[in-house]
Amino acid sequence: MDNYIKVYDDVIDEVSCKTLIEKFENSHESFQTVHQEDGDESISFEQITLVEHEEWKSVQDGMLEVFQDYIILCIIRLIVI
């Protein structure tokens, strides 16, 4: 199964990452709170569904481009293995 799980460091450069975090932290009006409980376990976090907010379109497009590059890389590695 280790052929399917990989960690890719530095996919997003440090400046872009900090800019993205800052944009997220300044977008409270767009937050959706997720809270789920399962017995004694619970999880709670805030998220932004990018496709629902036009001001996040450039982020969505940029991430899609990066993800597509890594999907292609994964497919190539699977074919070679």
In a domain, 2, yes or no: no
Q: Which two tokens stand for residue 48?
A: 């932004």
In a domain, 6, yes or no: no
In a domain, 7, yes or no: no
In a domain, 68, yes or no: yes
Residue 43 pLDDT: 95
In a domain, 67, yes or no: yes
Max alpha carbon distance in the chain (Å)? 46
In a domain, 21, yes or no: yes
In a domain, 5, yes or no: no
In a domain, 75, yes or no: yes
Listed residue (48, 72, 46, 69) closest to 59, CA to CA: 48
Poorest-pLDDT segment among 10-14, 57-61, 76-80: 76-80
pTM: 0.68
CA distance 49 to 14: 23
pLDDT higher than threshold 70 for residue 74? yes
Banded pLDDT at 1 (limits 50, 70, 90):
very low
Domain span at 55 = 14-80
Section 61-78 average pLDDT? 87
> How would you label 37-65 residue by residue, b for 16+ Cβ within 10 Å and e otherwise?
eeeeeeeeeeebebeeeeebeebeeeeee
pLDDT higher than threshold 90 for residue 54? yes
Domain count within the chain:
1
